[in-house]
Structures are given as structure tokens and as C-alpha cells.
Amino acid sequence: MKRIESKEALVKLFRELDQSSLFVPPDFEFPLGFTHSFSWTEPGGKRSFLVFEDFSTDQIFAVKFERSYVSGEAKVSMCDWCHRVGSTSDVHLYTARVNKSRTVGSYVCEGLDCIDRLDSMPSKNSMPETLRAQEKAHRISEKISRFLKSNLF
């Protein structure tokens, strides 16, 4: 379990270029506890925010994503992170800033909600029946980690 002590500490987790346009929900209570990761979306749904702990290094990444609309987008899309297949209202192109002039995008579930499934990450006293879910969570986590590390950090 990780703890974020204050709103300022949460903002500081984000890269400088994301900090100016952060939306922190007024109902967030600090200290904020989380396991592995959490995400939230601003009202209106355009920007989503991800706080993610790398499973192998315990490093914490925080990124702002913007939902984009692609003209001529396929009717069905697959989430790059969890491989869920959905309509264009379920899976969107989300972009994150690499620097002032460049963004990088990934097709991800609406509101980054595959993150919620990471709650079943492996632990020492895993029950055998939850192993499948844990393996899946681990795979999603690796995908996210690879995306973040190869593009943004």
C-alpha cells in the first residue's frame, strides 16, 4: 500500500509539463492510499490521469492523458493495454505529451478503467483460483509499464 500525503505531493508526482493542467477531484481525501495504481477522469471525460507503480521497480509514474477523436476511426477498437475489444465509445485514443511539440498515443479503455483490474495483482498468499486474474493483471501492468518507460520517462 502506497500513500500520497497531500494534494501537493500528488501534483509533484506528475511531470512538470502535466502539472499546470491537472484536475484533482475535490473529494480526494489525503493521505490517499493506493495499491499499484489508480486513475481518474475530469468531468466531461476529456482528460484522464494515471498514477502507476511499476511492479518490478516500485517506481511511481504519473501521467496526464487526453482523449482524442480520430476521423474515420474503426467501429471496433482493441485496448493496447488489456486487449479488451470494444466499440469506439469503450476504447479511445489517449495521447500523452512527450514534450512541448510531440505527443504519443495508445488505444485504451474509456477512462483508463483497465487500471481497476490491477487490484488483483499477485501477492505472496495468492489463492490458486485467483491466479488467472493475477496473471492477467500482471500482463496489463507490464504493458503499461513498457508504454510509459519507452515513450515518456
Binding site for Zn ion (CB under 5 A): 79, 81-82, 84, 109, 114
Residue 134 CB, shortest distance to Zn ion, in Å, is 17
Q: 61 or 94, CB closer to Zn ion?
A: 94
Q: 8 or 116, CB closer to Zn ion?
A: 116
Q: 63 or 109, CB closer to Zn ion?
A: 109
Q: 32 or 133, CB closer to Zn ion?
A: 133
The number of helices, as runs of H, and strands, as runs of E, in the chain is 3, 9
Residue 132 CB, shortest distance to Zn ion, in Å, is 17
Residue 111 CB, shortest distance to Zn ion, in Å, is 10
Cβ contacts of 88-96, under 8 Å, gap ≥ 24: 92/67, 92/68, 93/67, 93/68, 93/69, 94/48, 94/65, 94/66, 94/67, 94/68, 95/65, 95/66, 95/68, 96/63, 96/64, 96/65, 96/66, 96/151, 96/152
Residue 84 CB, shortest distance to Zn ion, in Å, is 5
Contact 13, 4 (CB under 8 A): yes
Residue 70 CB, shortest distance to Zn ion, in Å, is 17
Q: 49 or 81, CB closer to Zn ion?
A: 81
